Structure 1
Amino acid sequence: MKKIFSHKLSFFLLAVILVWAKTYASYLMEFNLGVKGTTQQILLFINPFSFTIVFLGLALFAKGRRAAIWIIVLDAVMTFVLYANILFYRFFDDFLTFANLKQAGNLGNMSDGVFAIMSFHDIIYVIDLIILIALCVRMPELKASQLKKRWAAVVVLAGVLLFYINLSVAEKDRPELLTRTFDRNYIVKYLGPYNYTIYDGVQAAQNATQKAYASSDDLTSVINYTNSHYAKPNDKYFGAAKGKNIIKIHLESFQSFLIDYKLNGKEVTPFLNKLAHGEEDTMYFDNFFHQTGQGKTADAELMMDNSLFGLPEGTAFVTKGQNTYQSLPAILNQKEGYTSAVLHGDYKSFWNRDQVYKQIGYDKFFDASSYDMSEDNLVNLGLKDKPFFEESIPMLKSLKQPFYAHLLTLTNHYPFILDEKDATLEKGTTGDDTVDGYFQTARYLDEALEQFFKDLKKAGLYDDSVIVIYGDHNGISENHNRAMKEVLGKEITPYQNAMNQRVPLMIRVPGKKGGVNHTFGGETDVMPTLLHLQGIDNKNYINFGTDLFSKDHDQTVAFRNGNYVTPKYTVIDSTVYDTKTGKELKPNKETENLKKQVSEQLNLSDQVLYKDLLRFHKLSDFRPVDPSKYHYGKEKANE
């Protein structure tokens, strides 16, 4: 052993093999990459090598023992990149981006979730470092003898050549891999997590320059698209809610499969079930899908208030927090004199809300500093839903009417923790802690919501208010498909995963009949719908969604990764399914055209955000929001 590893080339080869082994192990144990066919299996097997050879190979240019030390240091960097992606993937079912690094402070508010996703077997991701360090420490005579620099160069060039071979094979299996992807899974599957990190860094640098070189001419194609995509309002609903308060309730991580679901013979969400079946004058959209990306909750907020898609990486709330927006609260204020407020049992800096809400034009922000944040009232991310709703009533009463209020719940959030004293439903029995706890926190949220409705009526706020209830994103990711198969009683195929993106949307309009509406739609469609209910035509605004009540509504629901669903087709990557049956179909001209339309829609929305194009959009009846006019101190209900 001493003789073998006395040469730095041997030490280098050992390091390469160890890094490859732990990276490949992570593919098998951590990531759901959707590998299909022999080509993809081979690429998955070899793709860690190219970057590892090049990156660790740089250490071979060092003299003597320093080469071994630099190999260990570079290995440590790669270990950090890999493990950071593993933790991020466990939490968000996605890969880390440079845009996410700006959001690192949010992890401080998610300590329960971060520690919950760590595992004892994670030790395998540092074993290589332990071995390499031990070799250096226990073998003081290790000299890592000199290697001629030309051989070091050959090693690095061999790694570069291997990368190009890897890339060319990947491009044959997935054409335009690096130019048209909306899904980071593909990059990692074909090129590995380390090459993906380099790719993402290049993309981040390119995006940073886009705003600097943007001009009003870039807005032309966006305006042409939104004009052609416009859906005329339905006369039956246009202006039906004019001048009424709007209370929008954000159901954290709530998926539609919970509606009418029974656990051990008991309804999980009895109150929401009643709303879904037409009580309280409520319209329930049972084919409503979340369209969020990495931003999750923040993406949902962006779409609901701006009819823009979230970004393909990171969240616009952080990376585009200084952009100009044509938001729902700003339009309601300028057109109808609405006061607006956000109510949330977390602190205002989370997701950069204290800054981006000023850009959106919210008058008030009742954050955690406005609530009783004593220990008994807290669980998981922040304030429990029951005290949150109870304490929100006087805050709502303090707002000048008509008002637009956005309330965000918290308790039904991963890892779905609930105090025993608050649980009125037994956990599930799948053996998956995440899924089993989900039912308890969903029941708690349902009970909190029922009491909130009663309190609204007592406060005199119910009768003259539009109430919007929506789920923001999946609570249960694809990492829990085994348990979800047991819950739903069906195989969790890629098609079923798409169906599981259904989240509830309920709109209660005073005086309008409730019921179940089977229209397909997504979160970008809510803003134009609410504008038309107020009697405000959205035609001149940059909206990427369309009115759900309109006869011209576009029922093609684009997902952030470029997939889509319609009443007829569900398209996941290159596979087409019948939406009603889930059976695979052959791609056809219609599905290909829809794919192109979805790609255009996402691309144009991205251009609006990356280039801050709304700063160039001049309207005679809308003034850009001046963020300097808003200040969020400790809001009080009697102000």
Structure 2
Amino acid sequence: MAGEILWPVALGIKLVYAGAIMGGGVTASGAFWSLVAALALGLLPGVFRPERQPWVRFGMNVAVSALLFADLLYFRYFGRPMSIYALLQVNNLGGLGGSLESLWSWREWVVWADVPAAYVFARRSCRRPKPSIPALQAVFFGLVAAAAVGGIWALMAVRTAPAEAPAAFSGGESRPAVGRGAVQRYGPLGHHVVDALAILREGEAAANPQALEEIAAWFRRHDPELRDSFDNPWRGWAQGMNLVLIQVESLHNFVLDLDIEGIPVTPNLRRLREHALYFPHFYPQTIEGNSSDAELLSQTSLYPAARGAAFYRFAGAAYPSLAKKLRAQGYAVLAVHGDRASYWNRAKMYPGLGLEPFVSLEHLEADEIIGMGLSDRSLFCQTAERLTRTPEPFYAFVITLSSHLPFELPEEERTLPLPPELDGTIVGRYLESIHYVDRALGEFIAALNQAGLAERTLIALYGDHDGLLWHKDRDAIEAAFGGPIDFEAWVRTYQPVPFLIYHPRLAGETVATIGGEVDIAPTLSNLLGLPASAWAGQAMGRSLLAPTPSYAVLPGGDYAEPAFIDPDGIRPALPAWAEEALRVADLIHLTRYVERTIEEGAGAGDDRSEGREP
């Protein structure tokens, strides 16, 4: 009898505990629904025969504990509750061992505290003779439990139903019943119920016959902004040049001007900046797909899917992309990354982005491993050698890896002198990793120079997302650099990632235009001489080589809170038109809009205007 009573009590305590951590404290609504869920689950074993009930309770205890443990670990890493779509990314865990171990603490393990006692109760209960239980009583318990669970589901469905026709959810606070808000209202298990309901509504949105016209109408309104942004003196400056686009793991912009003990953290990036177009007010716009979202943004000029990673959810779908448009202009294309091809599902997603061939760890010499994969030094060395054998003009997309969390380098590669207060801290390890990547990048540029490629090659570089996070590392940054950091200061100083476009004949120029990763492909297309019409009806960004408009939309996601940035300031609430853009982007993914409405190569015209001579 003790097991029957203690099981729902222990479950209720665990649910309230996990809800308090993920919801930012105990809420009356979250605690109430957690206790209701505990009571409903406590009744479920009653549908089984008496001799099986103790092990059913134990099995349910283990399952709920495992779910809450995963929830808490995910929350500790990303600062938001885990979604069902995150389960699609379980393949990524293979290379994240060090990252996950660095996050474990006693707070996550608390949810397992009662499991040993539950096991003892289950064994003892099985040894005792069980009184017979009428079949009708078992049916009664089953019906009560089913009604309780069904009632919870139905009530949440009613309370989270949108007032208008079903539509895809966008990021941030426009999804009040998803994420942390759902945990606060309905508890951890209720969050997963609401999450499932949101997935069902996504299907309804994709099937809406008006969705395609809504997307087309949005592009008709946006295309004039795109077209006007291409009308600038830089248009066609790099026409016919090779392009190397480098996505640097976890690279913040603030490190470019940071010295530690008198030593620049990024001396090579500083030197590149002297001959580059440099965009210091440039923001990551990833949501739940993290690095893969950054790749999607830079290649397609589309905002990511609002939920989950597009690289998993829409693998195999065709997208308009920078690679496809350059290939249509006669470019050879290749992508290079030092991790296995299956990580972030790149092997299945890259063909739809035109990123073929894809040179992954399986096709590289694994002569130096750091962290999750091939060291950036080896990656850049082997990439430079491949480029000497690649027909020109070429487009190479290179994704680095060595500065991935937990920022642990071999001792011999830790060449940045750290003061005692930084040594061994997450901030110190991060700076050491970035210093290493900067050194590898310098060797890559030197190799291109030695091969005679530098004069014919435009090199663009950006950070994929932040490495030090607002919700997790703010205290460490405050301790390292002094002074409290509020949300606005964080977004202004620590949120930006660098975007720079280097060529040895460029005079260094700082571009004040505010933008984000969705603007990379149009900006590079503008420089390379592709017309705005190549992206008409396809790109959600614009060229940053025009001074206006100047803004960035941060959708909010695993690595950032929602925000809107323009010359007037930083606002945590997104304007209605930005929310609409994110919702339309989600519809583009859900409806496979490109496959259904845009022919391959459409719009790749040749209406180029005069621009600066290279």
Give the TM-score of the pair, scaled to structure 1: 0.83
Q: Structure 1 counterpart of 2:46, which letter?
A: L
The whole-number CA distance in structure 1 between the counterparts of 2:6 and 2:131 is 13
The whole-number CA distance in structure 1 between the counterparts of 2:244 and 2:311 is 22
Q: 1:340 to 1:369 in 2, by over 3 A?
A: same
State the shift of 1:324 in Å.
Answer: 1.8
**Which residue number corresponds to residue 47 of structure 2?**
61
185, 191, 199: which is aligned to 1:196? 191
- Give the alignment of 1:178-193 within 5 angstroms: 180-181=174-175, 184-193=179-188
Verify the 8 A CA contact 1:72 1:132 in the aligned structure 2: yes
Q: 1:342 to 1:445 in 2, by over 3 A?
A: same
Is 1:141 the equivalent of 2:133?
Answer: no
Q: Structure 1 counterpart of 2:332, which letter?
A: T
**Which residue number corresponds to residue 566 of structure 2?**
566
* 3-state secondary structure, aligned to 2:402: coil
The whole-number CA distance in structure 2 between the counterparts of 1:384 and 1:273 is 22
Q: 1:348 to 1:570 in 2, by over 3 A?
A: same
The whole-number CA distance in structure 2 between the counterparts of 1:130 and 1:612 is 48
The whole-number CA distance in structure 1 between the counterparts of 2:572 and 2:54 is 46
**Which residue number corresponds to residue 395 of structure 1?**
386
- Give the alignment of 1:71-150 within 5 angstroms: 71-119=57-105, 122-139=108-125, 140-141=127-128, 143=130
- Give the alignment of 1:207-606 within 5 angstroms: 207-208=202-203, 217=213, 219-232=215-228, 233-276=230-273, 279=274, 281-334=275-328, 336-374=329-367, 377-426=368-417, 429=421, 433-477=425-469, 478-499=471-492, 500-509=494-503, 511-539=505-533, 540-560=536-556, 562-573=562-573, 595-606=575-586
State the shift of 1:467 in Å.
Answer: 1.1
State the shift of 1:208 in Å.
Answer: 5.0
* 3-state secondary structure, aligned to 2:540: coil
* 3-state secondary structure, aligned to 1:565: strand
**Which residue number corresponds to residue 18 of structure 2?**
26
Verify the 8 A CA contact 1:346 1:367 in the aligned structure 2: yes
Relative to structure 2, which stretch is displaced further, 60-69 or 304-313? 60-69
Q: 1:389 to 1:184 in 2, by over 3 A?
A: same
State the shift of 1:407 in Å.
Answer: 0.9
Over the residues paired in the alignment, what is the CA RMSD in angstroms?
3.2
The whole-number CA distance in structure 1 between the counterparts of 2:539 and 2:345 is 23
Q: 1:313 to 1:162 in 2, by over 3 A?
A: closer
Paired positions, count:
581
* 3-state secondary structure, aligned to 1:470: strand
Q: Structure 1 counterpart of 2:113, which letter?
A: I
Relative to structure 2, which stretch is displaced further, 550-559 or 534-543? 550-559
- Structure 1 regions of 5+ residues with no counterpart? 6-10, 574-593, 625-639
* 3-state secondary structure, aligned to 1:64: coil
Q: 1:189 to 1:121 in 2, by over 3 A?
A: closer
State the shift of 1:389 in Å.
Answer: 1.0
Q: 1:47 to 1:271 in 2, by over 3 A?
A: farther
The whole-number CA distance in structure 1 between the counterparts of 2:37 and 2:153 is 7
State the shift of 1:359 in Å.
Answer: 1.1
Verify the 8 A CA contact 1:322 1:356 in the aligned structure 2: yes
Q: Structure 1, residues 107-166: CA drift from partner, whole Å, max 9, x if none?
A: 112222233333455442212222222122235337488567657756765677778889
Q: Structure 1 counterpart of 2:295, which letter?
A: E
Q: Structure 1, residues 484-509: CA drift from partner, whole Å, max 9, x if none?
A: 22134232433344343211111124
- Structure 2 regions of 5+ residues with no counterpart? 605-614
* 3-state secondary structure, aligned to 2:326: helix
Q: 1:111 to 1:623 in 2, by over 3 A?
A: farther
- Give the alignment of 1:607-622 within 5 angstroms: 607-618=587-598, 622=602
Q: Structure 2 counterpart of 1:535, which letter?
A: G
Q: Structure 1 counterpart of 2:88, which letter?
A: K
Query: What's the % identity of the aligned pairs?
Result: 23
Q: Structure 1, residues 38-87: CA drift from partner, whole Å, max 9, x if none?
A: xx733344442233222332223334343333222222222222112222
State the shift of 1:468 in Å.
Answer: 0.6
Q: Structure 1, residues 499-555: CA drift from partner, whole Å, max 9, x if none?
A: 432111111245443222222110001111111112222342411111111244341
* 3-state secondary structure, aligned to 2:386: helix
Verify the 8 A CA contact 1:326 1:542 in the aligned structure 2: yes
**Which residue number corresponds to residue 633 of structure 1?**
none
State the shift of 1:265 in Å.
Answer: 3.9
State the shift of 1:205 in Å.
Answer: 4.1
Verify the 8 A CA contact 2:299 2:322 in the aligned structure 1: yes
Relative to structure 2, which stretch is displaced further, 379-388 or 227-236? 227-236
Q: Structure 2 counterpart of 1:615, which letter?
A: E
Q: Structure 2 counterpart of 1:117, which letter?
A: L
The whole-number CA distance in structure 1 between the counterparts of 2:313 and 2:600 is 29
Q: 1:473 to 1:261 in 2, by over 3 A?
A: same
The whole-number CA distance in structure 1 between the counterparts of 2:479 and 2:487 is 16
The whole-number CA distance in structure 1 between the counterparts of 2:418 and 2:38 is 45
The whole-number CA distance in structure 1 between the counterparts of 2:24 and 2:564 is 17
Give the TM-score of the pair, scaled to structure 2: 0.86
State the shift of 1:264 in Å.
Answer: 3.6
Verify the 8 A CA contact 1:465 1:510 in the aligned structure 2: no
The whole-number CA distance in structure 1 between the counterparts of 2:498 and 2:402 is 17
Verify the 8 A CA contact 1:430 1:483 in the aligned structure 2: no
Q: Structure 2 counterpart of 1:415, which letter?
A: P
**Which residue number corresponds to residue 609 of structure 2?**
none
State the shift of 1:249 in Å.
Answer: 1.2
The whole-number CA distance in structure 2 between the counterparts of 1:65 and 1:533 is 73
Q: 1:434 to 1:364 in 2, by over 3 A?
A: same
**Which residue number corresponds to residue 634 of structure 1?**
none
* 3-state secondary structure, aligned to 1:250: strand
State the shift of 1:293 in Å.
Answer: 1.2
Verify the 8 A CA contact 1:170 1:190 in the aligned structure 2: no
Verify the 8 A CA contact 1:288 1:502 in the aligned structure 2: yes
Verify the 8 A CA contact 1:110 1:381 in the aligned structure 2: yes
Q: Structure 1 counterpart of 2:346, which letter?
A: R
The whole-number CA distance in structure 1 between the counterparts of 2:132 and 2:261 is 68
Q: 1:368 to 1:621 in 2, by over 3 A?
A: closer
Relative to structure 2, which stretch is displaced further, 453-462 or 131-140? 131-140
Verify the 8 A CA contact 2:168 2:583 in the aligned structure 1: no
Verify the 8 A CA contact 2:9 2:38 in the aligned structure 1: no
Q: Structure 1, residues 202-234: CA drift from partner, whole Å, max 9, x if none?
A: 333444566566685454334324325434123
